[in-house]
Amino acid sequence: MRTSEPTAETGAVNWAVIRQEYESRSFLPAMICKRHGITPYQLRYRRQSEGWLSCRARIVTKADLVARMLKVFDKQIRNLEAAVNEPIDKQANVLSTMTKTLDKLIEMGAAERDVEPPSRKDMADLRDKLAKRLDQFKKR
């Protein structure tokens, strides 16, 4: 008996197994239906009502996420540069948070193969630049 085959007693289908097979792309949807004794309409209904990941969806890689986060980071820096009227304390907190984020992004990028980890000098230079920026904001 298959793991999600309807039982004679309950008539229940193991939708968790079906979902796992569908989202992991283990089998084509038609094969999943055949294996578990369900119709394509039942599969589609469950997928839509429970918000399953589409079998056509592109799987996001770690490198994609890091690249997107770096773009957001760049946009935040531009917004911070344009925000002249905000209090210095708020700007300092934002820069501090952004520095931590950048550290984490660099760390994640270095975890990839064939990527040289950042040197302490690079990190020190970045922190110095951010400190100079803070001083410039304070002098306004």
What are 72-124's pLDDT values in tens digits?
777 877 877 777 777 777 777 877 887 787 777 777 665 555 555 556 666 77
Q: 134 near 95, Cβ under 8 Å?
A: yes
CA distance 63 to 111: 10
For residue 24, the tally of other CB atoms under 10 A from its CB is 10
Question: Are 74 and 124 within one domain?
Answer: yes
Two tokens at 14? 């193991």
Domain that holds residue 26: 1-58
CA distance 75 to 115: 24
Question: Are 48 and 66 within one domain?
Answer: no
Instruction: Look up residue 84 and give its amino acid.
Output: V
Question: Are 41 and 3 within one domain?
Answer: yes
34-46 pLDDT, tens per residue?
999 999 999 999 9
